[in-house]
Amino acid sequence: MTDKEWIAKFEGDFAKMQHNREKVPLEKLQTEYARPYNALVAELIKDADWFADRYLECLWFPMHPKDTAGNNWLLQRIRTIREQENQPGRLRDQWRAALIDKLDRPAFEDLVYRRYERCLNEAFDPYWQRHNRWAGPPENRWIYNDIFKKWWWPPHDDPKLGIHVGGLWINSDYTGHDCRYPPNIGPDPLTQQEGATA
């Protein structure tokens, strides 16, 4: 199935579950209508897990093509987090319960995001910071990232626009803005200048 077909199926299954629960008492659904109800629950479990996995895939992290050891570490760390969150009572069970038992779509999506956030903070961020370094002559030091191949422009006031701009990754000609994944590598060992983040 395509993503569009999966989303349509998910929306249809969830709407059917909401409708059934509004019209029929849960006890009756679980007894008199157990077969179709349990089949719908099984489909929603598939939908929920597909959504969570696809969410993580769509927000996947950039990797350096030559950092084989680092890439293997990152992928293994993400795999470990996923395995942990698939254990009984952890996030996978929680997002299924939020969606099916509570019919709470925002809570479901928040729990899906929490798994992504763990992968971001516990796996990708340490990997990413390894690819940031201070560079340039002593009088003009910048943080460079060798995955984006960009320089970190710390938060600043833009007099042309009259606004405060958060930190950005930029090319050396100030183009190619990207505000994802600010550096957090501490002060420049050469100048003791801080590497300000967004």
pLDDT of 198 reads: 38
pTM: 0.88
CA angle 3, 7, 12 (to 5 degrees): 150
* CA-wise closest residue to 64 among 72, 54, 55: 72
Across 148-186, b (16+ Cβ under 10 Å) vs e yields bebbbbbeeeeeeeeeeeebbbbeeeeeeeeeebbbebe
CA distance 117 to 5: 26
pLDDT of 94 reads: 98
- What 3-state class would DSSP assign to 169? strand
CA angle 114, 120, 100 (to 5 degrees): 20
- pLDDT, one tens digit for every residue, the chain (198 residues): 899 999 999 999 999 999 999 999 999 999 999 999 999 999 999 999 999 999 999 999 999 999 999 999 999 999 999 999 999 999 999 999 999 999 999 999 999 999 999 999 999 999 999 999 999 998 889 999 999 999 999 988 888 878 888 899 999 999 999 999 999 998 888 877 665 443
Q: How many helices (H) and strands (E) does the chain have?
A: 7, 6
The domain ranges of the chain are 3-130, 133-198
